[in-house]
Structure 1
Amino acid sequence: MAPVMNSTSEVEKYLKSLKGKSVDASIDSLISLFKRRQIAGSEPCAMATAHILLQVVAKTKFRDVDHMLETVRQVGCKLVAAQPKELVVANIVRRVLGLIRDEASEQRNEGTDDDASPEEPFPPAADAPEPSEAPSTKYDGSTDYLHSGPRHVRLGALMSVGSFPASKTLLSLLEASPPGHPSLSPLAKDSGTSTPRLGHQNARISAIRAEIIDGIEEIKDEISQVDDQIASSADVQIRPLDYVLVYQPSHTVQKFLLRAATKRRFTVVIAVDPRLASSPREVPGEVPFASFRKKLQAAGVASMNIMNIGQAAHMPRISKVVLSARCVLANGGVVTDAGAGHVARAAKEKGCPVIVLSGVYELSPESSMEEDELVEWGGAMGHAGFSDGLFVKGAQLQGAVTELIQPELVDSYITNLGIHSRNHLTTIVADHYKAEDVDFQLWGDAER
């Protein structure tokens, strides 16, 4: 089994340790935490990945946009290799690569519009001011770190049509240059895109860097607000007198049901796997999910615990099943805690709808991965302890930590963007990921 520890507190410790560290040291530290599974789970891994990529973008000196893309991709390959089972790590890297491509495209388009002036191919006037210095971007290790200087003034914006006669021929244009200015043809004029000046290039990189940092901050806010946004759909999904079955409810599922409990009266049936009963969120020796049940009771909602092996007997009374996801594939497959597949199959057999709660950052563009590549295996302490010495010595045991639920077992998906069917997932993937970044980690494997 995976080590029992609070990954959220480990992330907080890691973020505090970033101050005063170099980028390379911070990357190595996160890779070590991923490998030892001290940071595990969708939200902790996603948040830690977003923070380290923010450090990379903010503190690294880039020659150009291609250098920025390559650097982020190389760091992403290292993080994915450290924990390939956590698909959210690759998702966050893809999101950041997409941000860089979008901002570079916008800067390129703006530069083309401002610098290229086919209708006014005249040199600047004699008294035109010199362009200001490129903006400077500083990073001090905190959240509020952007201090931008004055914007770069493009020469094309300083040209005035009324300063020179508007002749129709190229010869007239060359002859119309004022005294003291060399004659310039439209072909000789710097376009600002093919052969930019160093100052102009630095200004573009600084502007792109600032926008990418803002974009990563938005991704971090999205991750932290996912549970509240998903819970806003609870009133629509949970009806009065419903019997709702949940399996090893995550923080997302708990907040979802507690939100519904403010307006609905229903019954919650909690299926507990005895091997996973010692959750890091619970107090050792206490009834599993006792704190969650106390909150439900305070809201006037009845609840009960059952063993996972006996949930089929309760299935005829169940109105719907609510499960949390560690990751959702583009084809609708769900990677979740081991044991949830048994619940989903029983619900499908009884015709009970299965609802999966997942943030958009947990939706992966991967769809063709083999089940063996997704399932994580842990130790066998949940099946046999040291007291069974002879049995343990003569047998090789494995305990599954996660499993894959096939897409045909899921009826609907609730994300922070709303309620979706399986067919709509491909649209969300296309909106959040670039096609050229889907297999970025495979390029790194090929190079190594």
Structure 2
Amino acid sequence: MPDVQTLVNDFVLKLKRRKIEGSQASAKQTAELLRSVVSQQRLPYINQATVLLDAVRAVGEQLIAANPVELAVGNIVRRILHIIREEDLTSTASAMEGLSLSANSDDDDNYEREDHQALSAAAVAAAARSTLRAPSLQTLLEGIPESASAPHPSSSGGDSEGKSKSERSSRSKKLKHDVIEAINELIQDIETCHEQISEQAVGLIHQNEVILTLGRSRTVKEFLCAANEKKRSFRVFIAEGAPRYLGHVLAKELVAKGLQTTVITDSAVFAMISRVNMVIVGAHAIMANGGVIAPVGINMVALAAQRHAVPFVVVAGSHKLCPLYPHNPEVLLNDFKSPSDLLDFGEFSDCMDFSTSGGSPRLHVVNPAFDFIPSKLVSLFITDTGGHSPSYIYRLIADYYSADDFVVRRRSTTS
């Protein structure tokens, strides 16, 4: 297999040069790279999980620093860190339970102690698992049973010590395999997220409705096409999404699928929103507070939808759920594209002449790539795990991430 560091350097270079576009492609390739990191990592006899966590975290720091705006990369790094913690926790709990059962297998009369130790192993696992989640009411309800306590040391002497070593040896071999299997499942979920989201289209889009979207999103396209395949008759208004005009591309794709499509200018959104039954858009990332980072122009659509009480629905895969808040210093909310998308340099070269303007041009061109939509403007999130309100996003994040991994990059300390 190729050297891991070579793979990391190649991927970092692609991220810096913006050779990888789209959250799904970034998430999938990040997961595949980290799977290679895990598979080629040599684990010691003890502290296997710590070694894996440090290796993944070190690579994750490089990937996140290469393109901080692509939040899906950091999301997958944190998801895999959480996977390692959970797999280590599961193997530890099963090993503890196996030791407690095997230590008392020769004593047929000591059932109460055996059950007590098995319960203790489960209790320790439940307590450790709760520490991986952010504080919530559900974690308070999932308490440790009152009868649970720490497992008692076995009295079987050297025999139990030998079994203990064999159990740890088998667990060390099993941990890497379980982590790789879990990463494979994560990659499969990323690949099939569009199909799982599209299955919910029939329950959301009804007959003779008018749907509005902006720009081009593959998730939105497959969502609309899935409803059309189920014999839903509806019309789609597409705001063209200047300056890249990806709405034109989406319009051609929907017309090819047989959907009734109307292209409008971005400035006509407020004038047309009163005729719309629902707004469906894609997202670049979903933040921990329910806010959305989406292509530029969508915040204007969200404000118009709120003014006319039109439902505003965001469709996105679970790999776009980011455990960070917009105010976190690790989050860069925007990326600025080339001014050539807006203006022809040849026609405006006189306005950008440095020699006649005292060292700085009189004309500045700003071309942001993203908007931020507050959670109060979002009606519903449709993910591959179902529909969720903005207030429930925190609960999904608690299931996917560990609180210790929210900030992957190490804090720099000054003396």
- Same fold per superposition (TM over 0.5): yes
Which structure's CA Rg is the greater one? 1
Contact map agreement 1:111 1:192 (CA 8 A) in 2: no
Q: CA deviation at 1:256?
A: 0.4
Task: Give the Cα separation in 1 of the matches to 2:28 and 2:6.
Answer: 18
Contact map agreement 1:358 1:413 (CA 8 A) in 2: yes
In structure 2, stretches of 5+ residues that fail to align are 111-153, 354-360
Contact map agreement 1:49 1:93 (CA 8 A) in 2: yes
Of 240, 256, 268, which residue of structure 2 is paired with 1:295? 256
Alignment of 1:137-176 (within 5 A): 160-161=106-107
Contact map agreement 1:347 1:354 (CA 8 A) in 2: yes
Q: CA deviation at 1:186?
A: 2.6
Partner of 1:43 in structure 2?
24
Partner of 1:233 in structure 2?
200
Task: Give the Cα separation in 2 of the matches to 1:189 and 1:333.
Answer: 58
SS at match of 1:211: helix
Partner of 1:403 in structure 2?
371
Task: Give the Cα separation in 2 of the matches to 1:212 and 1:377.
Answer: 37
Alignment of 1:310-329 (within 5 A): 310-329=268-287
**Structure 1 runs of 4+ off > 6 angstroms?**
none
Of 216, 224, 242, which residue of structure 2 is paired with 1:249? 216
Task: Give the Cα separation in 1 of the matches to 2:169 and 2:397.
Answer: 33
Q: CA deviation at 1:293?
A: 3.0
Partner of 1:382 in structure 2?
341
> Per-residue displacement from partner, 1:366-413 (whole Å, max 9, x unpaired)?
124269821111221122222221123422322101121111111111
Single out whichever of 408-417 and 388-397 deviates more from structure 2.
388-397
Single out whichever of 391-400 and 330-339 deviates more from structure 2.
391-400
SS at match of 2:192: helix
Question: 2:393 corresponds to which letter in structure 1?
Answer: L
1:102 and 1:245, CA in 2 relative to 1: closer, same or farther beyond 3 A?
Answer: same
1:77 and 1:444, CA in 2 relative to 1: closer, same or farther beyond 3 A?
Answer: farther
Partner of 2:96 in structure 1?
112
Task: Give the Cα separation in 1 of the matches to 2:101 and 2:17.
Answer: 57
Q: CA deviation at 1:52?
A: 0.4
1:349 aligns to 2:307 (yes or no): yes
Task: Give the Cα separation in 2 of the matches to 1:370 and 1:289.
Answer: 34
What is the root-mean-square deviation of aligned Cα atoms in Å?
Answer: 2.7
> Per-residue displacement from partner, 1:232-254 (whole Å, max 9, x unpaired)?
11111111111100101311100
Alignment of 1:4-403 (within 5 A): 20-63=1-44, 64-116=48-100, 120=104, 160-161=106-107, 186=155, 188-189=157-158, 197=165, 201-262=168-229, 263-277=231-245, 279=246, 288-297=249-258, 301-369=259-327, 373-387=332-346, 388-393=348-353, 394=361, 395-403=363-371
Question: 2:62 corresponds to which letter in structure 1?
Answer: K
Task: Give the Cα separation in 2 of the matches to 1:58 and 1:426.
Answer: 31
Partner of 1:176 in structure 2?
none
In structure 1, stretches of 5+ residues that fail to align are 1-19, 121-158, 167-184
Task: Give the Cα separation in 2 of the matches to 1:411 and 1:192.
Answer: 58
Q: CA deviation at 1:308?
A: 0.8
| Overall identity of the aligned pairs, in % | 27
> Per-residue displacement from partner, 1:19-56 (whole Å, max 9, x unpaired)?
x4210100111011001110122101101110001000
Q: Please, what TM-score do these two structures have when normalized by structure 1?
A: 0.74
Give the total of aligned pairs.
Answer: 358
Q: Please, what TM-score do these two structures have when normalized by structure 2?
A: 0.80
